[in-house]
Amino acid sequence: MRRKLLLGLAVLSLVTGCLSPSGTQSTELNTDDQTEAPPLNGGSDPPEYAHKQPDSEVNTPEPLDNKTTRDDINVTLAERLLKKKVDDHRDSNNVGGLIADPRLARIARHHSYDMVKRDFFSHTNPDNQTYTDRLQESDYACGGGWENISGTIWKTNGTRTEEQLAEQFLINFIESPPHNTAMIDSDMTTIGVGIYVAENGHAYVTMALCDADPLPEDGGDDDE
């Protein structure tokens, strides 16, 4: 009998002051609100998770028309720099690097965009949709995971280059123990980084982290 998996997503929250100059929140797939992750292929074979999940099983949102309407920032570069910085930070903590999944990044980026457009800063949007809900809506299977969010202002407070913006987001997360814990969680294997920068310079990042290997390699003990 295949070992059952309980899916949990968690959110940890720390707000350092809206966007003046920055705010940060983290959420985990919450083990206090666990639901069994159903087999994604009819149950005949063990399901696959996170970056290992086939494209045919994932239904992510349509790509945004843009990641900003400004012409003074390369948001894609900032996202890639932040991902590299997270890997370097994990390496310094003796934790392996993460696989970037563009599908998870799209889910994350849509949340950043939503926070800009609907003027809120939370893991739960005005429709009461949570990180877990966003993953389930996209049929994206996380075998446990975290969501970190942060906000700052582009072109102020030392964020005048893509490198500085990525560094500021990383510092925001490192300086908050719950967010740092999420970033260096050794169970995490997959990352999606989504940044959106508003016309007024408000910059939001959503960092989604997932476990692609929730089941032990040897199959573990069967749950009754």
Q: Is the per-residue pLDDT at 186 higher than 70?
A: yes
Segment 22-33, tens digit of pLDDT: 455 666 543 233
Nearest-angstrom CA–CA distance, 162 and 43: 44
Nearest-angstrom CA–CA distance, 163 and 12: 26
Strand, coil or helix: what is 190?
strand
Q: pLDDT class for 45, splitting at 50, 70, 90?
A: low
H-type helices in the chain, by residue range? 75-92, 102-118, 131-137, 162-174, 177-183
With tokens 């999420």, the residue in question is 182
- E strand or H helix that includes residue 205: strand 202-210
Segment 68-82, tens digit of pLDDT: 999 999 999 999 999
Nearest-angstrom CA–CA distance, 110 and 112: 5
Structure tokens at 62: 């349509």
pLDDT number for residue 18: 32
CA 138 to chain centre: 14
pLDDT number for residue 23: 53
Segment 138-174, tens digit of pLDDT: 999 998 999 999 999 999 878 999 999 999 999 999 9
Q: How confident is the model over 172-184, as a mean pLDDT?
A: 95
